[in-house]
């Protein structure tokens, strides 16, 4: 959420930013919030003037009573009653307008970084850099679900009976490989100096609206019926929410955390669920990284964070690339974002396995998270990035390590988490 003072003083810039995101339907909001802000400020002035008059009148009432001018004093008291009634109306109107202003402000997108490429949607994202040499073996690689089923590691049919479409059972060595990758990701980030955390897997609505846009919330979040609780779509939500309403000493920044959680997503929209496979499902697990820092350090941390994910996948011998998200593909709270994509030797193309984002002070402003500085309390910056989300990471691991005989080689980095096992074979 932008600062209303910034919008007031930079309305043309805010409108241009909306156009860059191809959200022209939001252009009228800029003038609307400026008009609302003016009304609120005028009400504040009117209220302040009335309070000052009330104080002056109260002093006069005391003086008149001392002078035994009872009738004059009573008339003044009637004026105080009028002022109090008027103040109640003004304060109510001010409160109502402030809520309308807040709701409109929360829909205006964050100002994107000048380095973000301009484009309408994800089809216009721009490749940045490749890491590792993409390889296609001289034998056919089956669909990942077929590989897992052949190794006795996947059962979606039973999950359909117990829970429905979009869920799955992972079994045996495939389940173990899945958890080995997540555990390795945890230790990988701890070795980078990040503090490990397991957060709550449910959050309240005021945290949800603090960390994401209304559109994202509607398309992603599962609500717990009868309670003000939502299942998290990513641990970033509860990790940032941890600091809601807090003032953090500047010397305690940056705060760097890596968190594990299951994630739950409705996956409403054009992409939909993947019927047979595991690429787009309702439930998955993820190791995340979250950083709170000074705004001027945000871009430095952004570049560190996406590189950590690249390093993680390269340590598993999975080729990856980074893809710069264009303006139309950025969620409204994001300043800049890139996707990390893994190589699929079966499809002979890359697919998304993670995303790194810097959100400026958008989340901090919505949640009231500030840093205490020598110049007073200021909003800080928040960033998040996927270390690994599985089963997408599992798909990349399986495809890039699939052998002609149907087995899967286990990368050396994961072997200690698999009891020293080097290969998954058909039993």
pLDDT in tens, 123-132: 999 999 999 9
Q: State which H helix or E strand residue 177 sits in.
A: helix 172-190
* Rounded-to-integer distance, Cα 69 and Cα 40, Å: 39
pLDDT in tens, 296-328: 999 999 999 999 999 999 999 999 999 999 999
Residue 213 is predicted with a pLDDT of 79
* Rounded-to-integer distance, Cα 372 and Cα 357, Å: 24
Residue 269 is predicted with a pLDDT of 56
pLDDT in tens, 221-262: 999 999 999 999 999 999 999 999 999 999 999 999 999 999
The arithmetic mean of pLDDT across residues 48-58, rounded, is: 93
User: Which residues make Cβ contacts (< 8 Å) with residue 252, sequence separation at least 6?
Assistant: none
Average pLDDT of the chain?
95
CA dihedral 89, 92, 97, 102 (to 10 degrees): 160
Report whether pLDDT(286) > 60.
yes
Residue 271 is predicted with a pLDDT of 60
Q: How confident is the model at residue 219 (pLDDT cuts 50, 70, 90)?
A: confident
Residue 218 is predicted with a pLDDT of 77
Q: How confident is the model at residue 272 (pLDDT cuts 50, 70, 90)?
A: low
Would you say the C-alpha torsion 178, 184, 189, 193 has a positive or negative sign? positive
Report whether pLDDT(280) > 70.
yes
User: Which residues make Cβ contacts (< 8 Å) with residue 178, sequence separation at least 6?
Assistant: 170, 285, 390, 391, 394
Q: State which H helix or E strand residue 149 sits in.
A: helix 144-150
The arithmetic mean of pLDDT across residues 35-44, rounded, is: 97
Residue 274 is predicted with a pLDDT of 67
Select from 408, 366, 371 the least CA-distant residue to 103: 366
Within 10 angstroms of residue 117's Cβ, the number of other Cβ atoms is: 14
Angle at the Cα of 336 (from 9 to 299), degrees rounded to 5? 90
* Rounded-to-integer distance, Cα 423 and Cα 410, Å: 5
Q: What percent of the chain has pLDDT over 90?
A: 89
pLDDT in tens, 116-160: 999 999 999 999 999 999 999 999 999 999 999 999 999 999 999
Q: How confident is the model at residue 267 (pLDDT cuts 50, 70, 90)?
A: confident
**The pair of three-digit structure tokens given for residue 104, joined into one six-digit string:** 């409109």
pLDDT in tens, 175-197: 999 999 999 999 999 999 999 99
Q: Are 341 and 321 in contact (CB under 8 A)?
A: yes
Domains of the chain: 4-105 (1.10.287.40), 122-424 (3.30.930.10)
Question: Within 13 A of 362's CA, how many CA atoms are on the CB side?
Answer: 25
Radius of gyration of the CA atoms of the chain, in A: 28
State residue 353 phi and psi, 5-degree precision: -125, -5
Residue 216 is predicted with a pLDDT of 76
Inter-residue long-range contacts of 15-24, CB under 8 Å, 24+ positions, other chains counted:
17/109, 17/111, 17/112, 18/108, 18/109, 20/112, 20/116, 20/118, 20/327, 21/109, 21/112, 21/327, 21/328, 21/330, 21/332, 22/120, 22/327, 22/328, 23/109
Residue 426 is predicted with a pLDDT of 87
User: Which residues make Cβ contacts (< 8 Å) with residue 318, sequence separation at least 6?
Assistant: 132, 342, 343, 396, 397, 400
**DSSP result, 387-399:** EEEETHHHHHHHH
Q: Are 257 and 197 in contact (CB under 8 A)?
A: yes
Is 154 strand, coil or helix? Answer: strand
Within 10 angstroms of residue 332's Cβ, the number of other Cβ atoms is: 22
User: Which residues make Cβ contacts (< 8 Å) with residue 82, sequence separation at least 6?
Assistant: none
| Helix spans in 212-318 (H) | 214-220, 235-241, 298-314
Within 10 angstroms of residue 50's Cβ, the number of other Cβ atoms is: 16
pTM for this prediction: 0.90
Question: Within 13 A of 110's CA, how many CA atoms are on the CB side?
Answer: 27
Report whether pLDDT(19) > 90.
yes
Please indicate whether residue 418 or residue 214 has the higher confidence score (pLDDT): 418
Please indicate whether residue 388 or residue 66 has the higher confidence score (pLDDT): 388
């Amino acid at each position: 959420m932008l600062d209303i003072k910034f919008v007031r003083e930079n309305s043309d810039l805010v409108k241009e930013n909306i156009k860059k995101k191809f959200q022209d339907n939001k252009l009228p909001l800029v003038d609307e919030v400026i008009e609302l802000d003016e009304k609120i400020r005028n009400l504040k002035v009117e209220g302040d003037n009335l309070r000052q008059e009330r104080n002056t009148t109260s002093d006069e009432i005391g003086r008149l009573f001392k002078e035994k001018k009872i009738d004059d004093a009573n008339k003044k008291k009637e004026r105080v009653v009028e002022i109090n009634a008027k103040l109640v109306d003004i304060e109510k109107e001010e409160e109502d307008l402030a809520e309308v202003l807040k709701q409109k402000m929360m829909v205006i997108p964050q100002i994107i970084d000048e380095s973000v490429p301009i484009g309408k949607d994800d089809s216009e994202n721009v490749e940045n850099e490749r890491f590792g040499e993409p390889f296609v073996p001289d034998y056919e690689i089956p669909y990942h679900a077929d590989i897992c089923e052949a190794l006795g590691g996947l059962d979606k049919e039973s999950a359909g009976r117990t829970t429905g479409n979009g869920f799955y059972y992972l079994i045996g060595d495939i389940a173990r490989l899945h958890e080995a990758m997540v555990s390795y990701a945890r230790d990988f980030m701890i070795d980078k100096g990040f503090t490990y955390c397991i957060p709550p897997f449910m959050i309240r609505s005021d945290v949800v609206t603090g960390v994401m846009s209304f559109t994202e919330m509607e398309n992603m979040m599962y609500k717990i019926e009868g309670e003000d609780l939502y299942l998290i779509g990513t641990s970033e939500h509860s990790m940032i929410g941890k600091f809601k309403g807090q003032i953090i000493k500047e010397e305690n920044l940056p705060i760097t955390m890596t968190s594990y959680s299951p994630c739950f997503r409705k996956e409403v929209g054009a992409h939909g669920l993947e019927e047979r496979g595991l690429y787009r499902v309702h439930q998955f697990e993820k190791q995340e990284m979250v950083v709170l820092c000074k705004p001027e350090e945000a871009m430095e941390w952004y570049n560190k964070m996406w590189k950590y994910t690249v390093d993680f996948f390269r340590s598993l011998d999975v080729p990856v690339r980074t893809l710069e998200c264009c303006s139309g593909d950025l969620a409204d709270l994001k300043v800049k974002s890139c996707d990390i994509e893994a190589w699929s030797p079966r499809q002979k193309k890359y697919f998304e396995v993670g995303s790194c984002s810097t959100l400026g002070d958008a989340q901090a402003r919505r949640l009231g998270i500030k840093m205490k500085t020598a110049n007073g309390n200021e909003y800080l910056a928040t960033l998040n990035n996927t270390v690994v989300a599985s089963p997408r990471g599992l798909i990349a691991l399986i495809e890039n390590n699939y052998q002609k005989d149907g087995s899967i080689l286990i990368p050396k980095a994961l072997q200690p988490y698999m009891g020293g096992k080097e290969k998954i074979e058909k039993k």
